[in-house]
Amino acid sequence: MEFKAKDIALLLHGVVDGNPDVGVNDVSKIEEGRAGTLAFLANPKYENFIYSTRASIVLVDKDFVPARPLSCTLIRVESAYDAFATLLQMYDSMRPSPTGIEQPSYIGEGATLGEEVYVGAFAYIGKGVKIGNHAKIYPHAYLGEGVEIGDHTVIYSGVHLYAGCRVGASCILHSGVVIGADGFGFAPDGEGYKKIPQIGNVLVEDHVEIGANTCIDRATMGSTIIREGVKLDNLIQVAHNAVVGRHTVMAAQSGLAGSTKLGERCVIGGQAGVVGHLTLADGTHLTAQSGISVNTKANAIMRGSPAFDIAKYQRCYVLFRRLPELYDQIKELENKVKELTEGSK
């Protein structure tokens, strides 16, 4: 299906700069643009590509000023990135969506399925499971006894939800996610360790997306909680009794130790780690590979391992990079002092 620039602009509340009748039937990266495709420019680092791209239409921010002539038609919008995301969401929603119960699959006694639910082949639905309307359970997913899944939630192939865990509405759990495995609880017992039973669960609220192979452990008692709107990348570890606040985002390979509490709209960079029993206030940002061992104040930006305020870290880093030079200067001064001392004897 082909869409004209003027129609796309109307949909996105944008303004056409160029040929309003040029059409597109696909999307592309701006650096790989092809005729008949739509691309976008949001990062200034990619501006050079807009002068050579073969994409027919490019979404740009409304205040973009080209430095050289362009061969493409522009659609100016408030935010090119947001507008492109909107188009991709619309495109994704138009793709065929599976429905029905495929065989072989197992649905346990007392399980209830809502309207227009999809259950893929070889999925396991345990006793007493509750699945909401329009939910999708892809092949080889495992839903343990008493699990609850909200409306419009998607559980991809290979996801494992242990008994008693709950996932809200409009969530997406990607392949390999494990929800509700035992928390890491052991007590020293002579020469070994005694396992502490983990009898809590995991509660995932609405509009949460969890990336592939991420693990969220069940609570020792009570719940490990992922609040509304949280976005978790691939390969993340959330330990028992942790709480991740509303609309917080965590990048790949980051981790939270037990009983950590994250506030709302925190940003956790890749490979960052948080010590157990800490509270990170609303709006805390941890840069990539940071290791934090102290509570934070609201909107703090932390860096380093152990992490501290980023402004102070940057000042320290300037000195750190100069350590070899400073060391050489100190050695030179020591030699001069030694020469002066010996000369005065």
Largest CA distance in the chain: 98
* DSSP-derived 3-state class of residue 151: coil
| CA dihedral (77, 82, 88, 92) positive or negative | negative
Helix (H, G, I), strand (E, B) or coil at 101: strand
The number of C-alpha atoms within 13 Å of 312 and in the hemisphere containing its C-beta is: 8
Closest to 172 measured CA to CA, from 137, 199, 133, 124: 137
| Known active-site residue 240 | yes
Cβ neighbours of 116 (radius 10 Å): 12
Q: How far is CA 154 from CA 8, 111, 118, 172, in A?
A: 29, 18, 9, 5
Distance CA 90, CA 12 (A): 12
Helices (H) and strands (E) in the chain, counts: 4, 40
DSSP codes joined into one string, 288-332? TT-EE-S---TT-EEEETTEEEHHHHHHHHHHHHTHHHHHHHHHH
State phi, psi for 154 to the nearest 5 degrees: -115, 125
Q: Which of 12, 25, 19 is nearest to 61 (CA)?
A: 12
Structure tokens at 274: 């948080």
Within 10 A of 56 (CB to CB), how many other CB atoms are there? Answer: 24
Catalytic residue among 152, 240, 247, 285: 240
Which residues are identified as catalytic? 240
